[in-house]
Structure 1
Amino acid sequence: MAIEIERKFLVTSEDYKKKAFKKTRILQGFLSTHKERTVRIRVKDDEGLITVKGISSQDGLSRFEWEKTITEQEAKLLLNLCEPIIIDKIRYEVKVGNHIFEIDEFLADNEGLVIAEVELKNEDEVFEKPHWLGQEVTGNVKYYNSQLSIKPFKMW
């Protein structure tokens, strides 16, 4: 159990793909998208995960997160119980300075949306911003994966 501190940004070009050291296909669904808690099921390559997240801080920078590994089979079975829209995305990981950016290229109902996240040790931590980072969307609820499963990008 931990407090997750992260900042989110829109992405302005595909230049991150040239620097990516890892690429992962992710399917995820939500058993709960309540604003005070979300319960996420994820299949990440051949691994399953269940994650519980608490309500975000007022500025959207931090929130409680608990995650546990489950089998891929368990995760696929639980995806069948999730709310209707399953998030399908490709995650690229890029090292920039002392940080790793996770860039999610959304597919299916959220195709066209690309978001970069960087996890921080504290809310005031300074980090190098690559040239492909665009507008910051930290704390903007419509960019949360849980909300993209309710109102996908194609409906905006």
Structure 2
Amino acid sequence: MQALNFPKYSFRFKNSENKISIFDTIRKKFVVLQPEEWVRQHCVQFLVKEKKYPKSLVNVEKELKVNDLKKRYDIVVYNPNGSIRLIVECKAPNVSISQSTFDQIAQYNLVLNASYLMVTNGINHYYCVMDFKEKCFLFLKDLPDYKL
């Protein structure tokens, strides 16, 4: 797999039926290693190890409904009170981050109401904080570390 713009992390892999899988520490199972999954697993490690988000507040690949359509978010980080702190949209490294990527995460946030948004393809990372009063997001240089 391609080198990404994240710190180096160690992962568990297994090969089964000629498919390589990577162990997801959040879902506690092996998942098929695809380019987007490679980015997602690096991002989870980044959030837990660098930004100090508790693993117990991180959720990966769950379904949500947006305008009666079933969608799946990549990563959500909760606050201890159950509200959502952060949504992360992961793309494969060969996928450019475009306006449609931001539109996608903004649509998810209409339902989830997260305070922060992150979009990454493993190479480029974009961080935003929501301004609910003005109904827009403001770009940040970095994602804040976890604090209670």
Structure with greater contact order relative to length (CA < 8 Å, sep ≥ 6): 1
Q: Which has the higher helix share?
A: 2
* TM-score relative to the length of structure 2: 0.35
Q: Which has the higher strand share?
A: 1
